[in-house]
Every structure is written in C-alpha cells, then in structure tokens.
Structure 1
Amino acid sequence: MTSFVQQNKVAVTVSALLGIGTIAGIIYYMKTNSSNNSDDSSNSESSKKKRRNKKKKGKSNNGASSTENGSIVEEDNKNSVYPINEATKLPNITPEILSNLSESEKNDWAIALKEKGNEYFKAKQYDTAIVYYSNALDCKKDHIFYGNRSACYYALKDYENAVKDTTSALEIKPDYSKCLLRRAHVYEEMGRYEDAAFDLTALSIYGGLNDKSSDSVMARVLSEHADKLNQEVYSHLPKVLPSSSSISSFLGAFVKEDLDLDLNNYEKDSGSYYLISALNEIYKDTDEGYENADNLLNQSIKRFEDNNNSSNDQTDKKIIAIAYEYMGIFSFLKTFDNAKEYVEKALEISPRPRMHVVLALIAADKGDYVLADQEFTKAIKMNPEDPNIYYHYGQVYYLIGDLTKAQSNFEKAKALNPNNVYAHIQLACITYRHNEIESCLTMFNNAKTLFPLSPEIPNYLGEILFDKGDIENASKQFDIATKLQEAIPGNNIGALPLINKSVIYQNTSDFQSCQNILEKAVKIDSKSEVAWSSLGQVYLLMQNPNGAIECFEKACRLCRSAEDRKQTIALLESAKIHLRVRQDKVLSKKMEEVIAQYSAAQMAA
C-alpha cells in the first residue's frame, strides 16, 4: 500500500513554494546551462561544441598561441594603444603610467586589454589571459573583467582565486548570471554545496524564477550535498527503531505467535522468559513496548548463547529459533547489516516459512527482488498454506508494479488469514487501480463491517476518496480514523490520518489549520519522519524558516536510509536558503519584487 503522503509529496512541496516565493521549488525545478567560455563571448553553446569538434586548438610552429580559427595570438607593438614590454611581449603598464592617463584613456586601454585577453582565453592560454585581464582591471574595475579572469582561474582549477574574482564581479553586479553560475560550479568543486545551492537559487531569483537553465546542476549539487551529509553526519547516528506505527504495519501482517504468553510458566531470567516478555511488549504496540522488546530480545539471545554449550539446557529449539528470528527482525528495522545473520541462525536451529519471508523482505529492502523471490519460493515449498507468506509476497509484487500477481497473493493471504486487515485493504486498493470504483468502495465497506475498530480502513478509504476528488468525504474518513486510533490501545497507524488531513488543509489554503494538525501529529508520533517533514514544509509556508530547519533536521535523523533522507536534505537546504535570502538585502528585495509580480499575475489570471 503506497503511502498517501508519499504519493502526494510533490503536491505538498509545490503548495509550500507559493508561500515563500518558490524558494523551495528552486531545489526541484532547474536545468543545467554551464559554460567555461569568457563572459563576453556571444557564441551559442551549440556552435561552441561544433567548433570544438571541428578543430583542436594548439601551438603554431613558431610557439605563438593559436586561436580557434587558426590565427596567431601576438601583440602588435606599433598599433597597440598600451605599451608592450619588448622582452616579454606582454603589457608594460605601471601605476605611474596609469596615473598620467585620463579616465577615457584608461577605459580604452581596459577594453583593448580585455579583447586581447579574450584571444588568449580562446587559445586556452589561461595564464597569459590572466595577465591581460589583470591589467584591464588595473585600468578599470569592471564586473566582466573579473568574470573573465575567474573563468581562467576556473579552467586552471585555481578555485580560491576563482571564488575571489566571481565574488568581486557580483559585488559590482549582483545579478551577473554567468558569475553566479560559475561560482556555483566552483563551490561544487570545492565541496561547498550549500554555497553552490545558494548561488543557483540567486540565479533563479534574478531570472524571475522563469530561468530553468541550471535545474540539473542544482539536482546534482543537492545529491552530492546529501551524500556528504549522509556520510559525515548521519552515518554516525545510533541505529534506533522506527516509529511504533511503522513497526505495527510491518508486524501486523504476520499471524500472532502460537505460544504460551504466561510468564509464570517460564523459568525467570531464562532465555525463554525474556523472549515471552518481549512478545508481550510487542503486542502492546507502543513506542515504549517496542523499545522494551528490543532490550528483552537482546537479553534472551544472550541467555541462549551463554547456555549454548550447557548439557542441562532443555529449551525447545523452536523457542530459541523464534528468539533469533525476532532479533533479526528488530535488527532489520534498525537497519543493522547483521539482520540476515540472525535469521539464518534461526533457520539452522529450527526452520519455519516465516524466516524465509523475513529474509525475502531484507533482500527486497536492498532492491534484490530476485533473491526475495527465491526466499518466498523456499517459504512456499516448506509450507504452501502458511498464512505469513502471501501478504508480504503480494507487497513485493505491488512495489514492482505487477498488480496481477500482487492481487493473487493478497487473495491467498486473505483466505489463509481472514484477520489480516491489510490484505482486505490492499485488495480494495488494487481494485481501485483497475478503475473499478464501486467495487473498491464496496470492499472497503465490507472491511469496515469485519473490522469496525480498525483505524486503517477509514484512513486508506480516505486516501482513495481524496484521489478521486471527493475531498469532503475523504476528510470525514480521516477524522474517523483519527478518533478510532485515539480510542484503541496501541499505535496502529499513528499520526497518518492527521498527516493526510493536513494535505487537504493545504489544498484549501488553510495553512494555520494545517500547522495545528501537524503539530499534533508530531506529538502523537514523534518518530515519524513524514510528520516532521510535512510540518517543516508548512513552517516554510508560514514564514518560519527556523522552525522548518528544526523539523527537517529531526526528519533527517529519523529517516531509515540514506536514500530516503535525500529529499528531506533538499527541503532542509531550502529552509536554510530562505534564511540567507532574507539576510541578503539586494536578493531579498528582488525576491519581494518577484513575489509581487507573481501575485499580480495570479490575480490577473
């Protein structure tokens, strides 16, 4: 069952854009248009590529630099407007000479020096070009001269000087697009991804948010930034269990263990005692219960391993194997790499089909669907009537888009375990995917009769109704789901109905109600990265970037994998950029102008 918020994440983000002048949107909607040519060149990128492919640049026989069209770059001492050093064949301009020039003469010299520098640049003689651009700057401080020299430094991989020159150019002309883009590229090369993203944002703002030329550059920068943060910051976080609602949905499709759960029937402090204690905590379906179960499972395994060589240990192997299986499940939920080892150990001790199912899910989580299929096949071969197999098998097929096989597996899961509410819901969702709307609604109503206290059913029915445009009834179903969740023990779906309802508030521009309901959601399910991320987006809407940053940072810490975290990092970056735009007087003023133009266009439409 695909998450409603995941399905609508783009819509949520786009809604957030409008309140902040699409700053967050710049993160997602840019295209690349990078160029290393000197800044006053008027040639198109396509013509440059054709020219580069047609002719290579090199040296002439006499050692002078050859330009792209084959002409020689050399100084004409007689006709040059500025003095030339006979020995070096380079400009001979000193402060004393400049002090005797008029402003008009300085301007003429600067232009001539720049033009000659361009010739050397085109010939890839960057060091010589730098000399000419530097002399031009001695004559006149001009943003183009700084920009051209920065292009030389960039080509030479002298990134520190490239940053200095692009910055100097932007101090003169803040909306100088070529330098904004070049400095973004330089920052990217230096690993200063936040600065690169800010420059790309500024580029878009100065372009009235209409220029999408650096879209792919931004996407790449944010991906590199996310990889860096995942490695340097988030890879060192302690591995913890996800929210109880996530664990509940994972374990809820398995049949409850057919074991005696009365602790009085087990020797205190034994491995079996700790396992049964863990199962009792699991069935509470709360954050605290799952945390307790995690600790108890560790104690159970320790006791079994301590007694491994004891000849007096009469513990049923089935009990020991189940302890290892659950240890593997909890390790998997915490993303430990050794999860598979625990489950394989369980198989060695006392195999059962469910263990192969868990191995299949571990493989599917890593994208290895071939191995997952093999493990499901082993489970079926062991016991084709095991009710724990088919729901999860159907989930994998659902994820890869094979609805026919998904449906057949969900039907078998429902037949073998009629109490599996998720099988009923998934079958209704697949029916909806087949555009059989009335049949889908009938299936949901039948499920309501069978599971009148299940908050899952009205929640996912609400998703279906929202998708088909019935907003009023979708809202009612989310409210029913919320009330049912509040009324029953456990945390079946946690804050999901509230998060879903928040999307409706966003669509109706009721942002204050959206904020209120999401603040409630994070209190109910403080481990939900979706709740924190959604609240962060709303804080951006409400002009609260500091609050947004706090939410996105919490969401980043809660994300289960580095890949899941990438989009949240992009949102975190958008909030930080928002703050920087506020602090930049020139850019913030331009942003206000763009927002005003956007609002006027919306009203006119």
Structure 2
Amino acid sequence: MSESFTEKSSEIISNAASAEITSSSSLFTTTSGASSPKDWKFWAAVIVPSVAIAGLTYYYLTSTSDSDKSQKPDSPATKSKKSRSKSKKKKSKGAVSALKAEELEIDASRASFSPEIKEDATASLNISDSELAALKDSEKKSTAQNLKAIGNKLFNNKQFDEAIEYYTGALRYCEDSVFYANRAACYEALKMHDQVIKDCSAALKINKTYAKALMRRAKAYEMQENYKDSLYDFTVTAIIEKFKNVVATESSERVIKKLAEKEAKEIMMPRVPSNSFISGYFNSFTSLANLATPASEDQPLSQAEQDFNEAINLADAKKYATSIEKLQKSIDDGIESVNLAAAADAYSLRGVFNFLKGSSDLANKDFELTLKIDPNHALTLYRKSNMLAEIKQLDEAMELLDQAIALNSNDAQGYFHKGQIYFLKTDYHNSSLMYKKAIELNDDYVYPYIQSGVSLFKLGQISEANSVFESAINKFPTRSDLLNYYGEILAENGRTAEATKYFDKSIEIDSNNPLPYVNKALTVFQSSDKVDNAFSLINQALTVDPECELAIAALSQIYLQLGLFEDTMRMLDRAVELAKSEDELVSTITFRETTSAQYRFIKEYPEMLGNFEYAR
C-alpha cells in the first residue's frame, strides 16, 4: 500500500475535511503517456489528502471489567498492563500473535487465590438457578470475580477447557464483556474460531468499544479468511484507540492486502481499456506501424496483409476493439508466411494491446516474436522498455532503450523514452536533457515538449517551464492534449483561471477528448463551490468516453469529499471493473475496502465522530 493504514483511515472519517485536488494524467508519471488511474497518481485524485487524527477524548481502559469498576485507571496493575501492552506492540510485526496471559483481563492481585476461595468458587459452579436468584448483586459480582480469577489461573497453565468452565460459570453470575472476551481467548487457543466470534460479539453487545474483543474477533475472522469483517474490526480498534494500537494498524494493512490480492485473482480478466487510455499510449510514439506493401507493383496484397492494413487504419481512427480483431485475423491468416516485415509489426502491435489489457506475459511473447523476426525492430524495443518500466524494472528498461539508440542515434523516440525513465527515477535534471535532445532531433514531436515543461516545473524552473509550453503551443496550436496538459500544470500551481482557459481551448479543439473535461471539473471543484458545474463536466467526459478511468476517479473524489459515501462506493466498484492489471486491481480494491470499512464505522459508531479533531 502506498499510504499507511493510519493515513487512509484518518482521511475518510469526516466529510467536512477539505481537500487539495490534484488532477493528473499518466503522461507525467509513466514512460508511455498512457492515462492509467494507477499512473495518474490515482489515489491522489481520489483520496482526501492526509490529515492527522487527534483529540480522541474518550479512551477505553481495558484494565477494568464491566462488573468491577473499583480499580482506578492509574493503579499499579493498570500501569503494569499498559507497559506490557506497549512492549507487546513494539514486538508485533503483523502476524497473528500467539496467545499470552497478559491478553486477558487479569488483575495481578486476583491471579493467585487460596484453596478455600477455589473450593467455594468451584462449588458455586453447581448452584441451582433458584439459589442463584436469591443472591444479592454484590454476592454475584464477588463470586463472578472469583470464578474469573480461577479461569485466568487455568488459562496461564494452558488448561483451556477447564478455564472455559470457570468463565462460563462467571457469566451465570454476571454477564460481563470481559468474561466473554476471556472465554473467547480460550477458544482462540483451541482454534475454535466460530466460538471466538460468538463470544466476542456477545462482549461487544455489552461494550461496543471493547478493543480486545474487537481484536480477538478480527483475528478469528482472519483465520476463517473472512477478510472484510476482519478488516472492519481492526479498523474500528485503530480508530477508537487513536491509531496508537500498532498491532491493529499493522494488522489492518496485512488483512487489506490479503483481501485485495484474493479478490483480484478471482476477478481479474484482461480487458480492452478506454479509448482515451489507449490514445494516450500511442500518442507518446511518433508512429504506430508501417502499412504492408506488396512485393512488386503488379502483385496484389494478400488477405492477411489487407487485414493488417485495415487494423492500422482502425487504430488510427481510435476504433481499437475492431482493430484488435482485424489484427488477430491477419495473424491467423498467416501474415508471417507472406510478409515478414508486416508480421513483425503485427506481433509488436498485438503485444502493445496485450500489454494495455494487463497481459504482460502475452505481450512479452509477442515482442519476442517480433525481435526473432527482426532483432533491430526499434519500436518494439521502445514498447518492451515501456512495459518493463510499468513493472518498475527501470534498469532493464533503460538497457533496451540504449540498445535502440545504438541502432539509430537519430531517432528522437529513444531519447524521449529514456527521459521518461529518468523522470520515473525523479532525476528531473537528466530527464530534461533527454527531452531537449529529442526536440533537437525531431521538433515536430510534441510529447518531449510537454515532458520537458513538466520536468522544469519539478526542478522549480517555473519561467523556463512556461517558456517551453508557450513555445510548444505556438508550434502546435491545434494539439488538444498539449493544451490540456499545460492547463493541468497551471492548475497544480494554483493558476486556476489560466488553467480553465486552456482546458476550454483543449475542449474546443477536440470535444472527444475526455481529459480536459475532467481536469476542468476538478479545478472548478477545488476553486469554487460550483459542484453542479463539476458534475456536468464529468458527465460530459463520460458521454465522450464511458470508460474514462480519470472521470471515474474524479467522481469518487468529489463524492467522497461531499460525504456521499454510497455514491463513492458505486464509483469505486466501477473503478474495480475498469482496472486493467492485477496490480491496479489490488490498488483499487484496497482503497474501496478501506473506504467501505470506515463508512461502516461512521454508521455504527456515530457517537465517536465528535471525538476527532482534524488538522493538516
């Protein structure tokens, strides 16, 4: 997880928390220029920025049972237990820890007892209901505490079945949350997880902020692979204990990882991403592929070659789903047997589509097929490098780019994509040098201008960055994507009025590009109270591209900040459907389930919300 559980939890509790909205596109974070939610700093666009949580005025002291409030919070026994608890938290590293006696509600002064007390307590196990009803409340409480003390002693001796008998006896005399929780500890030791859950639930009906019962039930749920409920209990514990319970926060991160990875494996299926996503990728290259040509003027193209050319034309027209079908048909019809050059391009392009669908293994096989036909196929080296960069194999990606540049040192694409690797490494100085080199080699290649301007902004060279963008806009006045990206940079630097103008110009040039609609919506939402305008713009983006990942992310963010949690969850469900890779799916599910757990907390613990103070 890119953010800690504590940061995520503290962000979602209050719908009054203000937010710094960061809209961005993958051009600024990837080597491809693809508009991927993950690469867009997706969670920066969805999550309210990190806030510290403080001021929890109510803190539950687990050292005292419901039926025995005589021990003061600062008693030696309580201090001793707090010390042990802190020590235990430091040692815990997220695994489900083994049971220890100190996890029980044991008062050291009661842990040992005389034979007479034990004999009297044991006899009280067999008392009749009528005899029990005749006892005074004080007698019931005293007997219950003696039975509990014997149960604790038996637990220390690992005599769990016998301890259960005494805790059950104590519950006859007094229904106390601690007795249920201690009996649950015995069931936990015996790996009777259903009984653990049952007893902890009973304890929480009596005291719903009982942290130890929540923790014990969370562990039982985890052992049963009921990760949603486990996450919820760990989340509640973390919040009510002001995120000071290290075991709860670390366990939450462990469980959400298990939950997300399990669900991702179950539902992940390769899918064609949105048109805007694919277009962003292809726009970062100077060419898509070469059209197949006949061996001689009097020789017609084969059906496979015709299908291949049609696939290229469809891709140029942004009809990607149909292009994929035609491309596959050309390969199935044996393009390799009639035109090796076209076959190399066909495999390479299919590799791109497989990569964009999240099938990196299939993509790599296609790239290798191309390189087997033509080891010097530079475009495939760029594309494979891009794929490696996506999975953070940056050094290997750089090696492929160096190989491509060695084949043709005058191809601007090699330097542009090398600049992207440096950018991913946050080496903005060297990325700027690479983009400058790419512009020198091909001043009609727009993306090096964009990334050069972004790198200069990152370096704090604002004037130089503005000059690069303004120069590029003068040279490419009809490039919608250029105007959109400059507007985004202006918005991120607080120049919202100027940013809005550039988004409007971008939309005017290409009304079918969803990104400027979304970026303008985020800017409007950040800088004014015109929520309806923001929604209208995002709906326009979704009309243009119903699967635009950035639009879904923006809606998630706005709904979340407005406290519209059900709408937020609906958008996050949609984001899960649109995820293109297992890693992206894990990230999306992680945030959805974290949000869901905290939304449930808000509904079930409304009285706790007033105990939080938020600060930047």
- In structure 2, what is the Cα distance between the partners aligned to 1:131 and 1:184? 24
- How much does 1:266 deviate? 8.1
Q: 1:104 to 1:509 in 2, by over 3 A?
A: same
Pairing of 1:309-388 with structure 2 (within 5 A): 313=338, 315=339, 317-336=340-359, 337-350=361-374, 351-388=376-413
Whether 1:425 aligns to 2:450 is yes
Pairing of 1:67-78 with structure 2 (within 5 A): 76-78=114-116
- How much does 1:531 deviate? 1.9
Q: 1:82 to 1:475 in 2, by over 3 A?
A: farther
- The answer for unaligned runs of 5 or more in structure 2 is 1-26, 30-34, 67-76, 91-97, 99-105
- Residue of 590, 593, 597 corresponding to 2:607: 590
Root-mean-square deviation (CA), in Å?
A: 4.0
- Residue of 326, 332, 336 corresponding to 1:296: 326
Matching residue of 1:502: 521
- How much does 1:116 deviate? 2.6
- In structure 2, what is the Cα distance between the partners aligned to 1:578 and 1:247? 34
- Residue of 262, 269, 280 corresponding to 1:249: 280
- In structure 1, what is the Cα distance between the partners aligned to 2:244 and 2:504? 42
Pairing of 1:48-59 with structure 2 (within 5 A): none
- How much does 1:416 deviate? 2.5
- In structure 1, what is the Cα distance between the partners aligned to 2:65 and 2:276? 56
Whether 1:548 aligns to 2:585 is no
Matching residue of 1:271: 304
- In structure 2, what is the Cα distance between the partners aligned to 1:69 and 1:575? 38
- In structure 2, what is the Cα distance between the partners aligned to 1:580 and 1:589? 10
Pairing of 1:59-70 with structure 2 (within 5 A): none
Count of residue pairs the alignment pairs up? 550
**Percent identical residues:** 27
- The residue matched to 1:175 in structure 2 has which SS? coil
- Structure with higher RCO (Cα < 8 A, 6+ apart): 2
Asked if the contact 1:38–1:148 (Cα under 8 Å) also holds between the matched residues in 2, the reply is no
Matching residue of 1:47: 84
- How much does 1:589 deviate? 4.0
1:178-213 CA deviation, whole Å, 9 max, x = no partner? Answer: 222332232223222221233344446656x77676
Q: 1:339 to 1:259 in 2, by over 3 A?
A: closer
- The residue matched to 1:84 in structure 2 has which SS? helix
- In structure 2, what is the Cα distance between the partners aligned to 1:382 and 1:36? 70
- How much does 1:450 deviate? 0.7
- In structure 2, what is the Cα distance between the partners aligned to 1:39 and 1:104? 15
- Residue of 47, 61, 65 corresponding to 1:13: 47
Mean Cα deviation higher: 165-174 or 44-53:
44-53
- In structure 2, what is the Cα distance between the partners aligned to 1:46 and 1:74? 21
* Letter paired with 1:222: I
- In structure 2, what is the Cα distance between the partners aligned to 1:452 and 1:400? 31
Q: 1:476 to 1:426 in 2, by over 3 A?
A: same
- The residue matched to 1:254 in structure 2 has which SS? coil
- In structure 2, what is the Cα distance between the partners aligned to 1:518 and 1:578? 26
Asked if the contact 2:197–2:220 (Cα under 8 Å) also holds between the matched residues in 1, the reply is yes
- In structure 2, what is the Cα distance between the partners aligned to 1:13 and 1:296? 40
Whether 1:126 aligns to 2:163 is no
Normalising by structure 1, we get a TM-score of 0.80
Matching residue of 1:105: 139
Q: 1:543 to 1:406 in 2, by over 3 A?
A: closer
Matching residue of 1:402: 427
Q: 1:471 to 1:52 in 2, by over 3 A?
A: closer
Asked if the contact 2:118–2:150 (Cα under 8 Å) also holds between the matched residues in 1, the reply is no
- How much does 1:105 deviate? 1.6
Matching residue of 1:60: none
Normalising by structure 2, we get a TM-score of 0.78
Asked if the contact 2:154–2:162 (Cα under 8 Å) also holds between the matched residues in 1, the reply is yes
- In structure 1, what is the Cα distance between the partners aligned to 2:572 and 2:130? 58
- How much does 1:7 deviate? 4.7
Matching residue of 1:144: 178
Asked if the contact 1:515–1:539 (Cα under 8 Å) also holds between the matched residues in 2, the reply is no
- How much does 1:230 deviate? 0.5
1:412-434 CA deviation, whole Å, 9 max, x = no partner? Answer: 22222222211101111111122
Q: 1:270 to 1:468 in 2, by over 3 A?
A: same
* Letter paired with 1:532: I
Asked if the contact 2:62–2:212 (Cα under 8 Å) also holds between the matched residues in 1, the reply is no
- How much does 1:398 deviate? 1.1
- In structure 2, what is the Cα distance between the partners aligned to 1:416 and 1:365? 26
- Residue of 179, 185, 208 corresponding to 1:174: 208
* Letter paired with 1:248: S
1:498-552 CA deviation, whole Å, 9 max, x = no partner? Answer: 3222332343454333333223322222222232132133234445444333321
- In structure 1, what is the Cα distance between the partners aligned to 2:213 and 2:514? 46
- How much does 1:553 deviate? 1.5
- In structure 2, what is the Cα distance between the partners aligned to 1:170 and 1:438? 60
- How much does 1:100 deviate? 4.5
Asked if the contact 1:82–1:93 (Cα under 8 Å) also holds between the matched residues in 2, the reply is no
- In structure 2, what is the Cα distance between the partners aligned to 1:505 and 1:179? 46
Q: 1:543 to 1:401 in 2, by over 3 A?
A: closer
- In structure 2, what is the Cα distance between the partners aligned to 1:50 and 1:225? 29
Matching residue of 2:265: 231
- The answer for unaligned runs of 5 or more in structure 1 is 58-67
- In structure 2, what is the Cα distance between the partners aligned to 1:542 and 1:48? 38
* Letter paired with 1:109: T
* Letter paired with 1:446: S
